[in-house]
Amino acid sequence: MSNENKRRVAAKDKLRVAAAKNVVENIEVKSIPPNFGKVESLLIAPRPIANDAPSVLRLFTGWPAICINKVADTMISLPLKMYVVKQNTEQKCVWNTKKLSRATQDNIRSRAKSLKIKSALDIEEITEHSMFDVLNEVQDDMCWTDLVKMTVQYLLMIGNAYWYINRNSRGLPTGIRCLPAEYTMVLLSKGNEMNITSYQVYNGIRQEELRAEDVIHFKKVAPGLFWRISSGELKTGLYGMGAIESILNPVMLLNAIDDFERALMENMCVPSGFIKYNDGTLTPEAMKIAEAQWNKAVGGLKRAGRIKVMDQNWEYKPMSIPPKDMSYGEARKWLREVVANACGVPMSLITPDESNKASSTVAIANYMKFTVLPMCEMLTDKINKMLVKKFDDNIFVAFDNPVREDNEFLLEQDKTQITLGMITVNEWRMRQGLEPVPWGDDRYEP
């Protein structure tokens, strides 16, 4: 190799090393690919969404709707309560409050993510606060239960739900508007940081741009989900993925089975097929005449049972597979279980096939612990961060603990402490916020 060629190879190697070093430094500093948000990045995206949200919402029928409504109905049955934390005994509360038992406070502390709540000297329940008016002041004729149910439905279908916070002249929240999640887009900054700047609602006719600080974005996070397609256009943003959106193929298959069986039943179960002439070859004109005669006799809706008598050698060949050969019964059962598992709903809640008491009790306990409780935490975390903190840093909201075992464990713990003489009855009553009794100071001796 000549010296000139060696110099060219060395120069190319040097450029490659410099380019690779530049890419690595960009990734390390910015923590995102340098072409993030650009069209060519779709080629290497972990999981770009190739469907639009309005199309996914059309699948809110059948078993997906049944399973999602089970979760939504469970959520609206749980009361949302507001609490205030006290860090010292001298701290006064300006709102009407109710004392909580020590066991209830411990339960709240164990579920909390905030160090302020975990280290609080005392936690009391707020019984009157303007925040309750905000949560019930929903647009149109909706109320708090409607808002929660719609939010859960959006989250399980497409993984995103949006609340717009109405504010007064002082910037305090006054009400909530549930945005149509299928038409809401996340707008990001133009720089490499990709920060959320605002939200845009556009349904093809009306367009509205909302400040990021006025919108609460609930999302079921999933890795690699940054793009959506809406109205044929690529939208870049940070989005979640719903349970139904993650199992589109099984849901589509279930709908295809429904469509086929409905069409078959509407045609009185007459299957599709073709007619074979066994005595030679027909001319194109003769084929058209024969086809018209057969369709007139047995084709179309409600032609089942019709008989066509012809004096020629015809043979019928079915084209469609009979339903019994396709095992639709087993396929339906399997697909139903896939939908229920994706939504986190036990089969004992939606079908009587598994209705024995032992399995149902365990299934419902797991449903409360692994489906309902995480949904409660997802909602309250965002509500506290984006809404409640606007009033005061020492207050927060939380749903009642839906996990029955946690409450039973605390009750059994108190019972054990009393029977072992570790605490008196009056000490226990004081934890529960009850008045002492005359005989309650005597410690039980085992």
pLDDT in tens, 184-229: 988 888 766 678 889 999 887 888 999 999 999 999 988 766 666 6
Percent of the chain whose predicted confidence (pLDDT) is above 70:
70
What local confidence, expressed as pLDDT, does residue 397 receive?
94
The DSSP output letter for 439 is T
Helix (H) or strand (E) holding 136: helix 130-136
Instruction: Give whichever of 21-30, 119-128, 415-424 has the largest mean pLDDT.
Output: 119-128
What local confidence, expressed as pLDDT, does residue 313 receive?
65
Average pLDDT, the chain: 78
What local confidence, expressed as pLDDT, does residue 39 receive?
46
Lowest-confidence region among 34-48, 49-63, 85-99, 393-407: 34-48
Residue 82 has pLDDT above 80, yes or no: yes
The DSSP output letter for 360 is H
Residue 21 has pLDDT above 80, yes or no: no
Residue 273 has pLDDT above 70, yes or no: no
Can you read off the two tokens belonging to residue 144? 């708090």
What local confidence, expressed as pLDDT, does residue 226 receive?
65
Q: Which residue has the higher pLDDT, 269 or 151?
A: 151
Residue 100 has pLDDT above 60, yes or no: yes
Quick one: average pLDDT of 79-106?
A: 85
Crossing angle of the two packed helices 328-343 and 248-266, in degrees rounded to 10: 140
Residue 408 has pLDDT above 90, yes or no: no
Lowest-confidence region among 42-46, 54-58, 237-241: 42-46
What's the CA gap between 130 and 388, in Å, rounded?
A: 10
Q: Which residue has the higher pLDDT, 429 or 378?
A: 378
What's the CA gap between 420 and 16, in Å, rounded?
A: 75
What local confidence, expressed as pLDDT, does residue 354 receive?
58
Beta bridge partners of 274: 317
What's the CA gap between 235 and 295, in Å, rounded?
A: 49
Rg (CA), the chain: 32
- Per DSSP, the three-state class of 124 is strand
Structure pTM? 0.71
424, 390 contact by CB (below 8 A) = no
Residue 170 has pLDDT above 50, yes or no: yes
What's the CA gap between 245 and 314, in Å, rounded?
A: 48
CB atoms within 10 A of CB 282: 14
Residue 25 has pLDDT above 80, yes or no: no
What local confidence, expressed as pLDDT, does residue 300 receive?
59
